[in-house]
Structure 1
Amino acid sequence: MDKAELITPKVCIAIGSGGFMENDIAEITQYVSAERLKRAERYMQRRDRNNCIVSYFLLRYELLRYCGINEVPPMEQDKYGKPYFKDIPLFFNISHSDEGVCCGIAAENIGVDIQSIERRYENILKNTMSANEIELIAGSDAPHEEFTRLWTLKESIVKYRGTGVGDHIEQIDFSACSGGKFIHDGLIFRSERYGEYYVSACTSEHEPEFIKKELSRYISEYQQLIRA
């Protein structure tokens, strides 16, 4: 696949209201690999199992919708455990939180994160935020929202790097970064709020496009694509 075929990174977002509908989950199960279904069954909570299935389906949707690929290519993991496609020059990243799921796909490295507004952050504040960020949160009219926004930005760059918990996220400082789109340390960031959720993405070359739809609409569009 030519890298130019996917110039703008795409981040698809689905948020369930009270959880994803079981009929939608049943519908997309036919498009999910046996390996992914087995992985989903490892989760104790139904919500987490459903999120695992939905995230895989969103990846399939993006591959078909934006890349014309109707199967999920073989994957491998790097030394930090970050999955990647073995044989094609595409990058992807997945995140889910509570009833929200997002999946990013790009022809460049990408990291994404979704997080419901965190209302109990005091115990982890010093281990996750810089001194400037702690001051920013303390002075905010909506400290829970500010903490969650900063958290998703940090997670997006950590997932972009693929280093996971090895990164000291309290040393990453976004206190001077405001607005929904900005460049920081030579990387491109986008962050948006959707109801009780924040979604952030980090890329290297092009500003990501965010797409939010109901899961049922993703399903309908996917089925139209496979029939075309």
Structure 2
Amino acid sequence: MTARESRGPIVGLAANLILLTALAATTGISVAGALAGTAYAVVLAVALGTGLRRTGMRALGPANAVTLARATLVGGVVALVVTSFQTPVPLSVLVPLIGVALALDGVDGQVARRTNSTSRLGARFDMEVDAFLILVLSVFVAGPFGWWTIAIGAFRYVFVAASWALPWMNAALPPKFSRKVVAAVQGVVLVVATASLLPDAVSFAAVAGALASLIWSFGRDVLWLWDTEQRRRFAEVRAGVVARRAVARPRTAPAPAGA
């Protein structure tokens, strides 16, 4: 896992394919599920390889290796969720895959800090794996609760798409502990709903509450970004007015010598 840049993504691809083969032999994933899992594995390998080249990293590193292991489990989740569109899948396999993937979310950060191997690539890799897992889970629970649940997983991608059209949304947000809590709640609630641990009515309310908390969190961030942009524009306009007044102000002629 900590081999050269060119080997890390290949190892991940191989691990994904091995997991898919094991799932096909034990749970009987559908052809569509196998294709979806394979497509995910290929995209993951290409994206990770591109990220390594762009950042100039020659090795994957221990923390990114943990994230890659987590991403591999997500590939299995993808295959099972797509299979569930055609036939029921064993929750005894799906839920542990999700649980381990979420548990490892707290491991890669600790490994990065203890080994002094934190990096922008690692942070982005970790975030993308989290976001995609939440999207896949929101699709799975749409079966019993309705397609509105997909909004939980789609929020982050809609935010990114909006930032392409509205550059002011790319500004750095201040760190908020509540944002981390809301993100953690999404994963916990979706896992509980996936495992059917609670009555349907309770799970429905929990998922709806998770979506409401997400709307609040994203709404607050968007409002903060909009307010910051308005302040920036006002400051620019004010600076421009001051500059124009300075240019237009007539200069006082110097007094004659000896006056």
TM-score, normalising length from structure 1?
0.29
RCO greater where, 1 or 2, for CA within 8 Å and sep 6 or more? 1
Higher strand share: 1
TM-score (norm 2): 0.26
Which structure would you say has the larger Rg? 2
Structure with greater helix share of residues? 2
